[in-house]
Amino acid sequence: MTTHTLIQFFYLGSAILFILSLRGLRGAESARRGLFYAELGMLLAIIGTLLKQEIISYEWILVGLIVGTAIGTPMGLWIPMTKMPERIALSHAFGGLAVTLVGVSEYYLFKHHGASWNVLKMTATGAEVLLGAITFTGSLMAFGKLQGILPGRPTTYPMQNVSNVLMLVAAVGIAIYMVFEPGAEAFFYIMAAAGALLGILLVMPIGGADMPVVICLLNSYAGLAASATGFAIDNNALIICGALDGGSGFILALMMSKAMNRSFGNVIFGAFGTVQEGPAGTTATGPAPNTGSVDDAVEILRVARSVIVIPGYGMAVSQAQHAVRDLSNALKANGAEVRYAIHPVAGRMPGHMNVLLAEANVAYEDLYDLDDINGDFSATDVALVVGANDVVNPAARTNKASPIYGMPVFNTEEARSVIVLKRTLNPGFAGIENELFIKTNTMLVLGDAKRTIQSFASGLKESSH
C-alpha cells in the first residue's frame, strides 16, 4: 500500500467517525460516545496529515503542537461551564484565523516561490481567506459582547446595512476578479482586510439576544472556510469535515431562528435588542413590579405540589445550577413535582442551560422543551424563573410594538404563582422591559440567584423539621 493510499484511508476513517459523532450528539445518552468518535476522528485526520511527504519541517509542527497544547489545555480545564459561550466564540476565532493564515501562506508561496496554481485553487483560496477573516473578527466581536467587554445592545449607525452589503459585494467581486487575475497581489490583501472589517461590522449591530443564532452562523462560516481550505491544499478530510461543520451550523442557525420566530435577514440586519421607545411593559412611569422576601418565597414553595423551573443566563452568571439542583431535591423531599423548562435560546448558545444542568447532575428526563411543557403552566403551582427574562416576557404575544413580538415564549404568567429571581430590575439582553414583572401573581426576589436559592433550600429544610 502506498503512502498516498494510506493517507486517504485515514481521511476516510476520520470522515466516517465525524458523521457518527454528529449522529451521537442527537441525544444526551449517546453524546459522550459521539464526542469520543469526534476525538478519534480528529486523531486519524492529524496522523494522515503528518504522513504527507510535502511537510517541510516537523520541527515547526512540534512547536505548534506545544503552543496549541499550552493554550488549549488551560482553556479546557480552567474555563468554567458558565463561560462556554465565550470559549466557543474564541474557538471559532482561532479557527477563522488559522484558515485565513493558511490561505495567505498558500497565496504567498504561489506569488513569490512559484507554487503551482489553477482556477480551482484560487477560487478556494479566495473563499477560505474571505470567510476565515469574517469568522475571525466576527467571533472576536461575539466574544466581546458575551464577555461584557463590548456593549450587548446593537451598535448602529446611518446607512449601516447599505454600506455592509456594498462592502460584501465588493469583497466577493475582488475574490472573483482574483480567479481571473491571480497575480493582482494588492487586491488579494485588500480582500482579506475587507473580510476582517466585515466580520466586525456584521456582528456589532447584532444584539446580545441574537447571540445563539450568531454563534451558529459563525460556526457555519468556520466550517465552510475549512472546507474551502481542503480544496486549496488538497486535503479530503478538511473538505468533508468542513462541509459537515458548515452544513450542521447552518441548519442549527435556521432552527434557532425558527425558535425565535425570526428570519436570517432579521437577525443580521434587524438590530434586535434596541431599547424600546414605547411602553412595552414596565417603564419608569408605569406600575412598579411586585417584590418580596426570601421568607415570602419559601412559604409559597413550601405548599407547592408542582414546580416548573425556568433557567436563564442569570443562572449561568451566578453559577447557581448546583444550588438549583439542591432546591429541587428539597422540593421533591417536600412532596413536590419539579420539572425544568428549557427554551431554545435561553443563555448565550444553543443548549447552554442543558449543559449547565447536566454539570449539576440534573436528570435529563426532568428537562422539557418549550412545546412539551408550555401547556402545563396553567396547572402548575409555582413557576420559578432563575435569571431568565426575554423568554418569559408576555410582550412577545401581546405587544405588536415589541421587538420580540412573535417569538415563542413560556406561558409563565399562567402559573398560580410566579417567583422571579433577578439581581436587579434592569431589562434583559433584548433591552426591553418585562410585562411579567407587574402581573398580580408574580413576585420578584432581588439578589444573587445562587445565594437566594440556597436560602430557599435552607428555609424549606428547616420548615420540614
Residue 227 pairs in a beta bridge with none
DSSP H helices in 79-118? 84-113
Does the pLDDT value for residue 74 go beyond 60? Answer: yes
- Cell digits for 356? 449547565
Residue with cell 401581546: 398
- Among 210, 245, 326, 390, the active-site one is 390
Query: Contact at 8 Å (CB) between 52 and 10?
Result: no
Query: Contact at 8 Å (CB) between 437 and 463?
Result: no
- In degrees rounded to 5, what are phi and psi of residue 155? -105, 110
Residue with cell 436560602: 455
Mean pLDDT of 145-173: 84
Quick: pLDDT tens for 378-432: 999 999 999 888 889 998 888 887 777 788 899 999 999 999 998 877 665 555 7
Between the CA of residue 138 and those of 102, 124, 198, what are the distances in Å?
19, 21, 8
Write down the pLDDT at residue 349: 75
**390 given a catalytic annotation:** yes
Q: 3-state SS string over 405-438?
A: CCCCCCCHHHCCEEEEEECCCCCCCCCCCCHHHH
Query: Contact at 8 Å (CB) between 273 and 257?
Result: no
Query: Which sequence spans correspond to the domains of the chain?
Result: 1-77, 79-269, 294-464
Q: What is the largest CA-CA distance in the chain?
A: 83
Round to whole Å and give the CA distance between 314 and 316: 5
Write down the pLDDT at residue 128: 93
Residue 177's pLDDT band (boundaries 50, 70, 90)? very high
CA proximity to 135, closest of 73, 63, 199, 216: 199
Residue 256's pLDDT band (boundaries 50, 70, 90)? confident
In 10 A of CB 361, how many CB atoms? 9
Its pTM stands at: 0.78
Does the pLDDT value for residue 279 go beyond 60? Answer: no
Quick: pLDDT tens for 327-369: 999 999 999 999 999 998 887 777 888 888 988 889 888 999 9
CA proximity to 41, closest of 248, 234, 240, 227: 240
DSSP H helices in 334-407? 352-359, 370-373, 395-398
Which residues have CB under 8 Å from 61's CB, separation 6+?
A: 50, 55
- Cell digits for 98? 488559522
Instruction: Give the CATH fold of the 294-464 domain.
Output: Rossmann fold (3.40.50)
Angle between the N-to-C axes of helices 119-147 and 160-180, in degrees from 0 to 180, rounded to the nearest 10: 150
Round to whole Å and give the CA distance between 13 and 8: 9
